[in-house]
Amino acid sequence: MTHPSRGERGSITIWLAVTGFIMMMLVGLAVDLGGHVHAKQRAHNIAAEAARTGGERVQAAPAIMGEQVTLDPQAAHSAAQAYLAAADVIGNVRITGGDTITVIVTDTYKPKFLSIIGIRDLTVTSTATARVVRSLGGSEQ
């Protein structure tokens, strides 16, 4: 009958503890990277919806007369800012050329596992633009 060497006794326990810790860190990294991507997608969706919401606010009189379709700058800006406030994010709204609204959203993701190693908040930023167009017979006028 052979007996294990006393020098190797408990070595599997150390290996298992180290491997378990590494696996937990890898799973935590995957969770936090996935959460960061999700936060980035959310920021983009909010920016796009805020731009669309602002893009719906056009100057009524010229549009009804069939002359031109342009944004009502104050109403578009207010509508986009209201959407951002309702979504509880910080954003910047810019209107250019009378027909384009651009929304930049800044949000944060709070890591679940990376905070263990000192990474507290990850900032996510996204930009979306909406442009008002007049279409007649399927072609832009």
pTM here is: 0.77
Confidence class for position 139, pLDDT limits 50, 70, 90: low
Distance of CA 65 to the CA centre of its chain: 39
Segment 50-106, tens digit of pLDDT = 999 998 888 777 766 777 778 889 999 999 999 999 999 999 999 998 889 999 999
Amino acid at the residue 104: I
What is residue 3's three-state secondary structure? Answer: coil
Query: How many Cβ atoms from other residues are within 10 Å of residue 82's Cβ?
Result: 13
